[in-house]
Chains A and B, each alone.
Chain A
Amino acid sequence: MLVFSEGDKEGKLITAADVPAGGPPVHAWPKDPNTSVVRSASRLNEILIIKLDPAELDEKTRARAVDGIIAYSAICSHAGCPVTAWVKSDAGDKEVFKCMCHNSEFDPREGAQVVFGPAPRRLAALPLALVDGSLSVAGNFIGKVGGAQPG
């Protein structure tokens, strides 16, 4: 299960309807459905969930999406900062995820590959599923969570 990690609904379950089409992303923690523990003790667990037009997604990304909803690690692959912004890219016309520490940008339509800045690799992707209208995690991270060098 996934719950909001910030805002008025912090701690509440995220449903498909909670994710606005076209962004911005919702910030989330995973929650263990058996123990009800929200896995927020490490900031490395924070996740970005965004809903995009499935037609915009590349094939691999579309395969992981539920109704156009896709999820990625919120931790930048450069210096480990949180990826907080959803803004127009410095390198194109599309809106992208941006880390405001050092300006790295990631395109969620193409597996969150790096489109600008010092980040060396894409954000780790998290496969999703819909269970009774709520979003849940369908598998392990694809790719490595965290910065390039320690810290």
Chain B
Amino acid sequence: MTDSAGRARVRRGRIRRWADDGTNDKNSQQEFKWLKRGTSMTRKQWLLSGFVAFTCLASTAAVSGPIENYSPVTAQRLENPEPGNWMLYRRTYDGHGYSPLDQINASNVKNLTPVWTFATGVVEGHEAPPIVNNGVMFVATPMGQVIALNAKTGDEYWRYKRQLPDDLFQLHPTSRGVGLWEDKLYLATTDDHVVALDAKTGKVVWDTKVQDYKKGQYMTLMPLIVEGKVIVGGSGGEFGVRGYVAAYDAKDGKELWRTYTIPGEGEPGHDTWQGDDWKNGGGSAWMTGNYDKETKTIYWGVGNAAPWPGETHPGDNLYTSSVLALDPNTGKIKTYHQYHQNDSWDWDEVEAPMLIDLQRDGRNIKSLVHPGRDAIFWVLERTPTKINYVAGWPFVSTDVWKGIEPESGKPIVDPAHKPVIGKRVEFCPSLWGGKDWPSAAYSQKTGLVYVPANENFCGGFTGEKVALKPGELWLGTKPEDIGLKTKPGADHFGELQAWDPATGKKVWQHNFPKSQLFGSVTATAGDLVFVGGTNDRNFRAFHAKTGELLWEQKTNSGIMGMPVSYEIDGTQYIAIQSGWGVDAQRIQDALATNNIGIEANVPQGGVIWVFALKK
């Protein structure tokens, strides 16, 4: 028996024991409900019967019973999802983050009201979109949980809780969701496994080790599912890993291919590195890719070079801070585009570009649109064999770039704001960039791109040469030296921006005077843009055409995750996880320490919220 299979067996055993003891909240709640429905057993009796039930059944799914009539997920359903479902990270393979539902719209959104909520029971950053397939919702939370719920009622079907190793430390304790294929779900874990769960019961079907968490290799992304392949990318750019994208057979977890984001000896692009720098050069790939179903090409974003100061790894450093075009069957790199060379600012470009058909300069362009962490709004053209630079402009103020070379699309760096060894260098925007991983959205109806941006933040650090120790932070600076400063006289920080990618014009902008904006954006056909992301814990809806704030709801915690929309029995719902943590919290700590009047207390703890119109 393989190591991973052995682990799977051990874990199932643990879950069984966990259910047996009958003391966890979920079991108690379920028992309590059951009791309320009219039985009159004594406490002792129902504890006993609960014990027997849990002993006989092999999984926690026993509590509510497995999901009946589950709709298997097929290639056809992922390529053309029903309007009422949200089965991919951004709902569709083109990465738009757009729902065609319009029952909730700009004229009635003021009547949006909570329908049900559900506590996840854990703290830290809840970054996953609630994934919905024909009335069943799957929610991934920090600490390796997946919760299956009735999306209409909020009743729990089952909960999977991974037993993470005691010696694991999580710099980014989060998950961005579960992928779906046929009757299974796929979770990428912070201890660097891919786990397949039975969608109906939550039972582990297979469990494959990807790399070694003890070396700082971990995963937080939602797997991309393409035609029976579970495709993931590794985190760990801050630990000196060599990034990769890898595919597993959805049936049995067998690794099908692995493509490193940093070319090895003899591979094209290897000469953009010197010596052995490539072996630990970073290029993590910790966000879900998008997919062009016409050309069968995956577009996958690649992170920063490691360690941070470019002086420690001279060269362009392919394919860091790039987008890769990959063949889903082989993992072969078809082509690429590097957004910026010799990264020195921790500017991951891991959010995959959106695939948008544009009319620009009098011609039709099959574009890739990417508002970058490097503060540049990128418009590229994708062809079957190449990615061409079309246009780029700063969407927040930056002192790092002096311009962009018109032919190659390479940004021209100002050396005064590029970190080096032995001297403190300041740069704007901060290392969290113009926009970090929280996703932008594109509305097919308005033709606008909605960007969760941050303005008036600058950063800086003193680069230093440090020897790599596997599993330890390797930033090329002292972590305590990393700064976040606000510009003097700044009257706001977060910006929700609406851009026309065809013209490069900003159509509207909403400013947040006392908060960063650190949450994914979703657009709907009801002319609405939904976003959380602020330290006042609000969830908001804006008019997609004008930017007018139409609705807001204070939630339990801050929101970092992605809003989704779905439909059941003719009712449209909006769902979001509220649960502050990770980088939103880090920015918060820096902001609250240095600025008076900024909210310092954003309580942690995850809750799933579901909204619909008041009946």
Contact = CB atoms under 8 A, between A and B. Distances in A.
Interface of A: 6, 42-44, 75-76, 79-82, 84-85, 87, 90, 98, 100-103, 117-118, 146-147, 149-151
A118 B190 CA distance: 19
B3 interface: no
Contacts of A102: 581-582, 585-586
A80 B170 contact: yes
A151 B191 contact: yes
A79 B169 contact: yes
7 contacts: A79-B169, A80-B170, A82-B169, A101-B169, A149-B143, A149-B164, A150-B164
B207 to A, nearest CB: 16
Contacts of B190: 151
A33 B165 CA distance: 29
Contacts, number: 75
How many of chain B's residues touch chain A, expressed as a range? 20 to 34
B166 A85 contact: no
Q: Which of B166, B169, B471 has the most CB of A within 10 A?
A: B169
B159 to A, nearest CB: 15
B480 interface: yes
B75 interface: no
B123 A118 contact: yes
A80 B167 contact: yes
A98 B481 CA distance: 12
Contacts of A103: 585-586, 589
Contacts of A44: 166-167
Contacts of A76: 169
A118 B479 CA distance: 18
A75 B589 CA distance: 21
B593 interface: yes
A27 to B, nearest CB: 11
Contacts of B581: 102, 118
Contacts of A84: 473, 479
A151 B479 contact: no
B550 interface: no
B124 interface: yes
A151 B143 contact: yes
Given A43-B167, A85-B479, A101-B171, 6 more contacts: A43-B471, A75-B169, A79-B124, A85-B478, A118-B585, A146-B166
B163 A79 contact: no
Interface in B169-201: 169-171, 173, 190-191
Nearest to A76: B169
Q: Which of A76, A103, A151 has the most CB of B within 10 A?
A: A151
Nearest to B162: A150
B21 interface: no
Interface in B137-165: 143-144, 163-165
B240 to A, nearest CB: 15
B170 A100 contact: no
Interface in B191-221: 191, 214
A87 B480 CA distance: 8
Contact of A150 (B143, B214, B586, B593): B143
Contacts of A43: 167, 169, 214, 471
Interface of A, secondary structure class, is loop
Contact of A117 (B123, B124, B168, B589): B589
B472 interface: yes
Nearest to A98: B480
A100 B478 CA distance: 9
Given A80-B169, A90-B593, A101-B171, A151 B164 contact: yes
A79 B124 CA distance: 9
B473 A100 contact: yes
Contact of B166 (A100, A118, A150): A150
Nearest to B588: A103
A151 B589 contact: no
A118 B163 contact: no
B169 A81 contact: yes
Interface in B440-456: none
B583 to A, nearest CB: 10
Contacts of B585: 102-103, 118
B173 A79 contact: yes
Given A81-B171, A84-B473, A150-B164, A100 B143 contact: no
B482 to A, nearest CB: 8
Given A42-B167, A118-B604, A149 B122 contact: yes
B593 A80 contact: no
Contacts of B166: 44, 80, 146, 150
Contacts of B586: 102-103
A46 B421 CA distance: 29
A79 B480 contact: no
Nearest to B214: A43
A48 B440 CA distance: 43
A102 to B, nearest CB: 7
Contacts of A90: 589, 593
Nearest to A88: B480
Contacts of B170: 79-81, 101, 151
Nearest to A147: B169
Contacts of A42: 167
B443 to A, nearest CB: 35
Nearest to A150: B164
A126 B123 CA distance: 28
A98 B190 CA distance: 23
A44 B171 CA distance: 16
A76 to B, nearest CB: 8
Nearest to A86: B480
Contacts of A98: 480
B590 to A, nearest CB: 9
Given A90-B589, A151-B173, A100 B479 contact: yes
Contacts of A100: 473, 479-480
Given A82-B472, A84-B479, A118-B123, A151 B165 contact: yes
Contacts of A6: 469
